Amino acid sequence: MRQSGDPYYSHPIEVAIMLAEFVADEAPKLFTSNMINAALLHDTIEDTELTEKMIIEIFGKEIAKHVEGLTRIKPHGKISVEESLNLLIKQKRYDTAFIKLFDRIHNVQTLAAKSPEKAKKIIEETLRNFVPLSIYLKIKIPTIFLDIQIDIQKKFLLGLRILIHFFLQSLKVIYTPNISNPCRNNNRY
C-alpha cells in the first residue's frame, strides 16, 4: 500500500502509462517494450524481495539493466538522487533516465500523501535534478511540473477555504447571543 492509500501496483502502472504516452507521441524512436516493462518493475529491488538476478532470470538482461539503473541501492550502499541521475547520464543510459523522470513526475503528482517535510525535499530534488534533466534530454516535461505546481496551489487554496469555512462554523457554535438582535442576520457572518 502506498502512503496515498492507493495499492502498491498503481504507481508503477501510472509511470508506465505516462512513459508510453510520452514516448509514443514525442520520441517514438526511443520506444521499446522493455522500457515499459522496466517502468512496471522500477521499484521492485528497493521495495520487494525481488533481486536483480531474479529479474534477469524472469525478464531478461535488458529489463534487469534498466531496473538496476532505476534503483538507488547499490552494492556499496544507497546513493542520492543526484548521483543516480549523474550515473545514468555518464553511462549514456538516456532511456533509463526517461523512466526515472516519469517516476519522479508521478511522485510529484502524489505529494499530498507525504509529510510537509518529505514533500519539500521531493520538490527541492525535483527542481535541482529533474527539471534540468528534462531540459538536457530536450523534452517538454517542465510544463508538466508547472501544471503540478498549479494543481498544488489550487489544492492549497481549496484547503484554506475549507479551513476558513470550518473556522467560521465553529465561531457560530461558540458565539450564540442570549438576546435577540433584529439587526443581526443569523444566516450570515
pLDDT at 160 (0 to 100): 58
Which parts of the chain sit beneath pLDDT 50? 176, 179, 181, 189
Would residue 141 count as lying in a domain?
A: yes
| φ/ψ (deg, to 5) at 51 | -110, 165
User: Domain span at residue 93?
Assistant: 10-157
Active site residues: 46-47
Does 120 fall in a domain? yes
pTM over 0.85: no
74, part of any domain: yes
The verdict on residue 19 lying in a domain is: yes
The total number of structural domains in the chain stands at 1
DSSP-derived secondary structure for 10-72: HHHHHHHHHHHHHHHHH-TTT--HHHHHHHHHTTHHHHSS--HHHHHHHH-HHHHHHHHHH--
- The pLDDT score that the predictor gives to residue 189 is 44
Residue 112 inside a domain? The answer is: yes
CATH number of the domain at 98, please.
1.10.3210.10
* Domain assignment present for 73: yes
On whether residue 134 sits in a domain, the answer given is yes
Residue type, 13: I
Rg of the chain over Cα atoms, rounded to whole angstroms, equals 23
What's the confidence (pLDDT) of residue 23? 80
User: Is residue 171 a part of any domain in this protein?
Assistant: no
